[in-house]
Amino acid sequence: MAQGKRSVIGIVRYDDLVLVGKKKSLEEGISNISNGRWHIPGGGLNCRESYESALAREIMEEAGIEIEIDRYLVSHTTPKNTYVRWYECTAKTCDIKAGSDLSDVLWVPKDSIINFFDKELVSSWPRRIARYFEQN
């Protein structure tokens, strides 16, 4: 595994909908690809935390819901040397509320996800994730 930070992202589904979150805008001058933009929720791991525990914690903090982790999808290392693991998950409820570092959360139809996000963000995803959303 790559040295550096570790992160996890969850494609959280409720029927044919996918959870998305809008990051709060950070201070001017701080560069982050998701700053003030919609993204697929997730976050960094705490010391000695498993990927699965981190994902459940992050989704609870960001959207206020519990999830069931269904399967691991893919991993990649970002240009800033963050090792990221992607999972497919099922929401235990559809009642979401923005929390943590998000200003808003929504359920978006799975078949609309690719067009919902900024092209720059989509191009940063592993190809397998883009294909996941292109499948019906």
Least confident of 29-43, 62-76, 78-92, 95-109: 29-43
Is pLDDT of 1 > 90? no
Least confident of 13-17, 99-103, 126-130: 99-103
DSSP 110: G
Query: Which CATH number does the domain housing residue 122 bear?
Result: 3.90.79.10
DSSP 19-86: EEEEEPP--TT---TTTTSEE--EEEPPTT--HHHHHHHHHHHHHS--EEEEEEEEEEE-TT--EEEE
Give pLDDT tens digits for 51-69.
999 999 999 999 999 999 9
Q: Considering the domain boundaries, does residue 42 fall inside one?
A: yes
Show Cβ contacts of residue 33 under 8 Å, excluding neighbours closer than 6 positions: 120, 121, 124
Domain that includes residue 11, residue range: 6-134
Q: What is the mean pLDDT of residues 40-56?
A: 94
Lookup: tokens for 102: 């998000």
Is pLDDT of 14 > 60? yes
With cut-offs at 50, 70 and 90, classify the pLDDT of residue 37. confident
Q: Considering the domain boundaries, does residue 72 fall inside one?
A: yes
Q: At 9, is the secondary structure helix, strand, or coil?
A: strand
Q: Considering the domain boundaries, does residue 1 fall inside one?
A: no
Is pLDDT of 101 > 90? no
Q: Considering the domain boundaries, does residue 23 fall inside one?
A: yes
Domain count, the chain: 1
Q: What is the mean pLDDT of residues 27-51?
A: 76
